[in-house]
């Protein structure tokens, strides 16, 4: 082996985890972690929550501080973008024109917010839009929080998790908030309708207005305020617009270097790309999930980013294991916590279990009564049961769906010992 070492492109959750794991697994050669952002790796989940709510502007919540990187001999290159990969010569080029060679390469490039189409579908005038806020980076959160002043009218486009967390944070800051959603309900992706309606009700009681099933036909600015027009003729004036309409995996570097891309950088169960010396992990990759019949999925979730970063480090060092962690996601809005383990859409029936004041659980089962997902909403007390459900999902046990509805049946008892 040469001394070129391990290179990780993308210094986010996944990249930072992978770098640290390479060291703890005993790799003694070089580790270079390349990140386009000016900050050392930091946590994104607070960006739509505490970052927007706190009175004084918080600093980024570090995942790997510069001193820790030095201590672990991880060469952290901030504000540095990888622009090309020469797979034949195991070489990458950086935006300053320099190049580096690698033994193994990990792509942990994450995702970027989807932008509103301009011109809007069905219109031929480009959006005359000075600034629509999107939320992915610390800088995005800083510029959005400046707008969240008491009494300001904020429009959130998109009733997904990030949009709803922004709505809750904006209410906490005393803004007037309207959420516009093109679909018939909020949280169309990823949670059952019963949970979506509990979330909807919580937002309404906090004073958030919803415009569901609303197609935007145009937008304009008077210099003082923005006007959003809808295809049914209605219009809405506001001071700030934030769009949370999904994310697009960052695959440009991979596809330009000839790596397979399929809703993200295509990897196998070890997280190897179509080039055996290049791996991809986190929000940027799609992978086959063994618990779901090898179905190819892409996740945008914090724990997956960590777990895949860790797993990819092992694969880069030659481990053969398949990545099979049960997907897990959480969201916090007001005093509500929502957690989803598994893939609810893989189920055909849903069983409800009430935990009383602690919250509600929904179990998603296949026709054969195998548990494929569990979602919970309520206080922090739901965490224990979702964690147990996650372990049951991983065990692929066949369950009695009637018993699941009974709160006195302990989930722990269903775990194969």
Binding site for ligand FAD (CB under 6 A): 9-15, 34-37, 44-45, 47-48, 81-82, 108-111, 135-136, 162, 250, 253, 282-284, 300-303, 305, 329-331
Residue 383's binding partner among other proteins, ligand FAD, none (Cβ under 5 to 8 angstroms by kind) is other proteins
Q: Which two tokens stand for residue 133?
A: 């806020």
Q: Which is nearer to other proteins, 100 or 361 (CB)?
A: 361
Percent helix / strand / coil, the chain, rounded to 5: 30, 30, 45
Buried b (16+ CB within 10 A) or exposed e, 52-69: bbeeeebebeebbeeebb
Under rule CB under 8 A, residue 388 binds other proteins:
yes
229 near other proteins, judged by CB under 8 A:
no
Nearest to 302 by CA among 266, 322, 337, 330: 330
Please give the Cα distance from 196 to 183 (Å, whole number).
Answer: 12
Q: Is 4 in the site for other proteins (CB under 8 A)?
A: no
Q: What is the distance between the alpha carbons of residues 343 and 325, in angstroms, rounded to a whole number? A: 12
The burial class, CB within 10 Å (0-12 / 13-18 / 19+), for 266 is buried
Q: Which does 135 bind (CB under 5 to 8 A by kind): other proteins, ligand FAD, none?
A: ligand FAD
Rounded to whole angstroms, the Cα distance separating 343 from 326 reads: 9
Residue nearest to ligand FAD (CB): 12
Peptide bond into 119 cis (omega under 30): yes
Q: Binders of other proteins: how many residues, by CB under 8 A?
A: 8
- 23 interacts with other proteins by CB under 8 A: no
> What residues between 343 and 382 interact with other proteins by CB under 8 A?
380-381
With CB under 5 to 8 Å by kind, the binding choice for 154 among other proteins, ligand FAD, none is none
Tell me how far the alpha carbon of residue 157 is from its chain's centroid: 17
> Distance between CA atoms of 14 and 29, rounded to whole angstroms?
20
Q: Which is closer to other proteins, CB of 189 or CB of 412?
A: 412
Identify the CA nearest to 120 among candidates 212, 230, 225: 230
Q: Is 78 in the site for other proteins (CB under 8 A)?
A: no
Q: Shortest distance, CB of residue 383 to other proteins, whole angstroms?
A: 4
| Identity of the residue, 82 or 127, whose beta carbon is nearer to ligand FAD in the bound complex | 82
- Shortest distance (Å) from residue 408 CB to ligand FAD: 31
387 near other proteins (CB under 8 A): yes
Of 103 and 250, which has the nearer Cβ to ligand FAD?
250
Min. distance of Cβ 384 from other proteins in angstroms? 5
Rounded Cα distance between 310 and 363, Å, is 29
Angstrom distance (rounded) from CA 404 to CA 216: 43
Q: Which of 136, 145, 334 shows the shortest CA–CA distance to 243? A: 136
Q: Closest approach of Cβ 66 to other proteins, in Å? A: 18
Distance CA 308, CA 324 (A): 10
Nearer to other proteins, 48 or 251 (CB): 48
Nearest-approach distance from CB 50 to other proteins, in angstroms: 11
Q: In angstroms, what is the minimal distance from the CB of 9 to ligand FAD? A: 5
| Whole-Å CA distances, 373 to 25, 58, 346, 389 | 32, 35, 8, 8
Nearer to other proteins, 69 or 388 (CB): 388
Residues of span 285-344 touching other proteins by CB under 8 A:
303
Residue 7 to residue 35: CA distance in whole angstroms: 11
Contacted entry of ligand FAD, other proteins, none for residue 82, CB cut-off 5 to 8 Å set by kind:
ligand FAD
By a kind-dependent CB cut-off of 5 to 8 A, residue 11 interacts, out of ligand FAD, other proteins, none, with ligand FAD
Q: Rounded distance, CA 258 to CA 216, Å?
A: 37
- Closest distance between ligand FAD and the C-beta of residue 389, in Å? 16
How many CB atoms sit inside 10 A of residue 246's CB?
14
391 preceded by a cis bond (ω within 30 of 0): no
Q: What minimum distance in Å lies between the beta carbon of 332 and ligand FAD?
A: 7
8 Å CB contact between 214 and 186: no
Residue in the block written with tokens 């494929």: 372
With CB under 5 to 8 Å by kind, the binding choice for 381 among other proteins, ligand FAD, none is other proteins
| 152, 384, 395, 409: which one binds other proteins (CB under 8 A) | 384
Does the protein bind other proteins through residue 412 (CB under 8 A)?
Answer: yes
Partner from ligand FAD, other proteins, none contacting 387, C-beta within 5 to 8 A by type: other proteins
Task: Find the shortest distance in angstroms from Cβ 175 to ligand FAD.
Answer: 17
Residues binding other proteins (CB under 8 A)? 303, 380-381, 383-384, 387-388, 412
């Amino acid at each position: 082996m040469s001394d070129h070492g391990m290179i990780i492109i993308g210094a986010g959750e996944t990249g930072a985890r992978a770098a640290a794991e390479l060291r703890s697994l005993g790799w003694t050669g070089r580790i270079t972690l390349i990140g386009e952002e000016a900050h050392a790796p930091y946590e994104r989940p607070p960006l739509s929550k505490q970052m927007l709510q706190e009175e004084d502007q918080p600093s980024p919540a570090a995942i790997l501080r510069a001193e820790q990187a030095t201590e672990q001999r991880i060469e952290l290159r901030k504000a540095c973008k990888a622009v090309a990969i020469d797979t034949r010569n195991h070489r990458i080029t950086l935006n300053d024109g320099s190049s580096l060679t690698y033994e193994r390469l990990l792509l942990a490039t994450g995702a970027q917010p989807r932008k509103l189409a301009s011109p809007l579908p069905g219109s031929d005038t480009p959006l005359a839009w000075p600034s629509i806020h999107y939320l992915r980076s610390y800088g995005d959160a800083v510029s959005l929080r400046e707008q969240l002043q008491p009494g300001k009218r904020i429009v959130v486009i998109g009733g997904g998790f990030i949009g709803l967390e922004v709505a809750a944070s904006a209410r906490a800051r005393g803004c007037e908030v309207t959420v516009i959603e093109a679909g018939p309900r909020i949280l169309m992706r990823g949670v059952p309708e019963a949970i979506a309606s509990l979330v909807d009700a919580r937002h309404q009681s906090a004073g958030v207005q919803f415009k569901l099933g609303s197609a935007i036909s145009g937008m304009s600015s008077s210099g003082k305020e923005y006007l959003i027009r809808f295809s049914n003729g209605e219009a809405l004036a506001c001071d700030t617009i934030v769009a949370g309409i999904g994310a697009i995996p960052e695959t440009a570097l991979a596809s330009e270097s000839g790596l397979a891309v399929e809703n993200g950088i295509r990897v196998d169960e070890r997280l190897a790309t179509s080039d055996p010396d290049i791996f991809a992990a986190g929000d940027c990759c799609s992978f086959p999930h063994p618990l779901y019949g090898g179905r190819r999925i892409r996740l945008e979730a914090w724990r997956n980013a960590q777990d895949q970063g860790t797993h990819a480090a092992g694969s880069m060092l030659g481990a053969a294991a398949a990545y099979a962690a049960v997907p897990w996601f959480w969201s916090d809005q007001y005093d509500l916590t929502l957690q989803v383990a598994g893939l609810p859409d893989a189920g055909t029936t849903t069983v409800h279990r009430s935990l009383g004041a602690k919250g509600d659980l929904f179990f998603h089962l296949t026709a054969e009564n195998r548990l494929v997902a569990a979602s919970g909403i309520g206080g922090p007390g739901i965490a224990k049961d979702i964690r147990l459900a996650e372990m049951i999902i991983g065990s692929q046990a066949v369950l009695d769906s009637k018993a699941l509805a009974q709160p006195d049946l302990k989930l722990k008892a269903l775990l194969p010992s």
